[in-house]
C-alpha cells in the first residue's frame, strides 16, 4: 500500500506542482492519475520513487516512510515505464531488460535468461531480442520498456504516459496487453495519462488532478462517469458520459435462439426480411435484405456491457443485434426493444 500524507511539491519560484495531496493506493490495484498538462500528476507519481523530492508531507510504502529508504534501494523496488520507453540506445532489447537485474547484482547469464522470459511475457518475438532500440517499432520499444520494468518482479510498477507516443492502433493493442498482464501480475500499478478514456479503460481507481496540483475526485471509473464530483471532472470526462457509463453495467438480456441456417449458411433474422451471412467460423459478415448489403460489426459479446448491447442493436440495420460467444461465433439474437426495456428499468443506475 502506498500512502500520500499531505504531500506538496513547490518549486523555488513559488509554483505549486502538487498541493497537499492525501491519497491511498491499495496493494495490487491499478490506480490511474489523470488530468491536463501541468496538473502535477506526473510529479505526484515521480515522488513515489523520489525522482522528485516532496517539499512537504510524506509518502509511506507499506507503512514505511520512503524518505527513510535509501534512494537506490527504493527505486530498485519499483519498475518505471516512461513515455517513449527511454530505452538505452546502445544496448540491445534483451540487454536493456537485463540491465535491471545486473544492477541488482544478478550474474550476466542469469540476467539474460530472465530478461528473455520477461520479453516473452510481454510477447516480444524472440528474434527481436538482439536488436537495438532504433531497429524496433514504437510499440515494440514500449513492450521492451514494460519488460525492463517488470523483470525484477518489483512490488510497484510506475507507468508515466507509457502509451501516448504510439499510434492509436498500437496503443489499443498495448492497453489490451496491459489488461491481459494484470491477470498474471500482482504489482501495485500507478499509471499516469492525460487521456480520460485510457484511464476509464484501465483503472480500478481514477484520481482526477486539476490545475495547481489539486485532486478533484478519486473514485472507481463508473462513479467518475455517473457522479462526477464537480464541473471540472464532468468536463474532463467529456461528452456521452451517460452512454459511456453503460459500459460498466451488465444486464441479463433475453437472447432469442438461432433458426436453422439457409442453404448458403446465412442466418434468418426473426421477424423480418434481413439475413446475416457468416464466415466459415460462424462470425458475422454482412447484413442483407435482398436490396442492400451492410457490413456487420463484431456483434454483442454475450455477458458484456449494456453499452455493447445498445451499440450493437443501434448499429444493426435489422434492428436486431447478433449475439456472439467468446470465439466471435453468432449464437443468438438480441432485439433492440429488449435493450431499450433494460434501459427503462434501471437496476441501481442513477
Partner 1 sequence: MIDTATVLLRVLEHLGYSGLALGIAALIAVPLGLYIGHTGRGSWMIAGANALRALPSLGLMTLLVLLIGAGVVPPTIALVILAVPPILSNTAAGISVADPAAVDAARAMGMTDRQLLRQVELPIALPLVVSGFRAAVLQVVATATIAAFVNLGGIGRFIFDGLALYDYGRVVLGAVLVAAVALALDGALALVARAVTPGRVGRTRTRPDSANERVGE
Partner 2 sequence: MNWMFANPDEFAALFAEHTALSLLPTLIGLVAAVPLGAALRGLPRARAIAVVVAGIVFTIPSLALFVVIPGLIGTRILDPVNVVIALSMYSLALLVRSVLDALDGVPPAVRDAARAMGYSSLRRIVAVDLPVAVPVLVPALRVVAVTNVSLVSVGAVIGIGGLGRLFTAGYQRSYPDQIVAGIIGTVVLALLIDRLLALAGWSLTRWQRVTEAAA
Lay out the site mask for partner 2 across 120-139 (x = CB under 8 A, - = otherwise).
--------x--xxxxxxx--
Using CA atoms, how far apart are residues 323 and 38, in angstroms rounded to an integer? 44
- Which of 8, 43, 66, 316 contacts partner 1 by CB under 8 A? 43
Residue 348's nearest CA partner among 231, 211, 246 is: 246
Return the beta strands (E) in the chain as ranges. Answer: 2-10, 16-25, 30-34, 56-61, 64-65, 78-81, 156-160, 188-193, 205-210, 214-219, 256-257, 267-268, 275-278, 284-288, 293-295, 300-301, 320-324, 330-335
Give the binding range for partner 2 (CB under 8 A) out of 69-77, 109-117, 202-210, 248-256: 69-77
CB of residue 52 vs partner 1: minimum separation in angstroms? Answer: 6
* 155 binds partner 2, rule: CB under 8 A: no
What gap in Å lies between CA 254 and CA 320, rounded to an integer? 12
Q: What are the DSSP calls for 30-58, one per residue?
A: EEEEE-STTSSHHHHHHHHTTSS--SEEE
206 DSSP assignment = E
4 pairs with which residues across the strands? 23, 59
Query: Could you say whether residue 52 binds partner 1 (CB under 8 A)?
Result: yes
Output the smallest distance, CB 114 to partner 2, in A. 15
Considering the complex, state which of residue 158 and residue 246 has its C-beta at the smaller distance from partner 2: 158
| Region 174-233 residues binding partner 1, contact defined as CB under 8 A | 192
Among 51, 56, 60, 301, indicate the residue that binds partner 1 (CB under 8 A): 51
CB of 65 to partner 2, least distance (A): 19
Binding region for partner 1 (CB under 8 A): 11-13, 17, 37-43, 46, 51-52, 161, 192
Binding region for partner 2 (CB under 8 A): 49, 51, 71-76, 78, 80, 82-92, 99-100, 103-104, 128, 131-137, 140, 145, 148, 158
Amino acid at each position: 500500500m502506498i500512502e500520500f500524507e499531505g504531500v506538496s511539491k513547490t518549486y523555488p519560484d513559488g509554483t505549486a506542482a502538487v498541493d497537499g495531496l492525501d491519497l491511498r493506493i491499495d496493494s495490487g490495484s491499478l490506480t490511474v492519475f489523470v488530468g491536463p498538462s501541468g496538473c502535477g500528476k506526473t510529479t505526484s507519481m515521480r515522488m513515489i520513487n523520489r525522482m522528485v523530492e516532496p517539499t512537504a508531507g510524506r509518502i509511506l510504502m507499506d507503512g514505511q516512510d520512503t524518505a527513510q529508504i535509501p534512494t537506490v534501494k527504493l527505486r530498485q523496488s519499483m519498475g518505471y515505464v516512461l513515455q517513449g520507453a527511454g530505452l538505452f540506445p546502445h544496448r540491445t532489447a534483451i540487454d536493456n531488460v537485463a540491465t535491471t537485474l545486473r544492477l541488482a547484482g544478478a550474474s550476466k547469464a542469469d540476467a539474460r535468461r530472465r530478461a528473455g522470459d520477461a520479453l516473452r511475457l510481454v510477447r516480444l518475438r524472440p528474434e527481436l531480442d538482439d536488436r537495438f532500440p532504433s531497429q524496433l517499432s514504437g510499440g515494440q520499444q514500449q513492450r521492451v520498456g514494460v519488460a525492463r520494468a517488470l523483470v525484477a518482479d518489483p512490488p510497484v510498477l510506475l507507468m508515466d504516459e507509457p502509451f501516448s507516443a504510439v499510434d492509436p492502433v498500437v496503443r489499443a493493442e498495448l492497453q489490451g496487453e496491459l489488461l491481459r498482464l494484470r491477470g498474471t501480475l500482482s504489482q501495485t500499478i500507478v499509471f499516469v495519462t492525460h487521456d480520460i478514456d485510457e484511464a476509464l479503460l484501465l483503472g480500478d481507481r481514477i484520481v482526477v488532478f486539476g490545475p495547481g496540483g489539486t485532486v478533484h475526485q478519486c473514485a472507481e471509473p463508473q462513479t467518475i462517469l455517473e457522479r462526477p464530483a464537480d464541473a471540472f471532472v464532468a468536463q474532463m470526462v467529456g461528452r456521452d458520459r451517460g452512454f459511456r457509463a453503460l459500459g460498466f453495467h451488465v444486464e441479463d438480456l433475453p437472447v432469442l435462439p438461432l433458426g436453422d441456417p439457409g442453404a448458403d449458411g446465412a442466418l434468418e433474422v426473426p421477424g423480418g426480411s434481413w439475413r446475416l451471412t457468416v464466415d466459415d467460423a460462424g462470425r458475422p459478415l454482412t447484413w442483407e435484405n435482398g436490396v442492400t448489403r451492410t457490413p456487420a460489426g463484431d456483434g454483442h459479446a454475450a455477458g458484456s456491457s449494456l453499452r455493447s448491447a445498445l451499440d450493437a442493436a443501434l448499429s444493426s440495420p435489422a434492428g436486431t443485434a447478433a449475439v456472439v460467444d467468446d470465439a466471435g461465433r453468432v449464437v443468438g439474437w438480441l432485439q433492440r426493444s429488449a435493450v431499450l426495456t433494460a434501459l427503462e428499468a434501471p437496476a441501481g443506475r442513477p
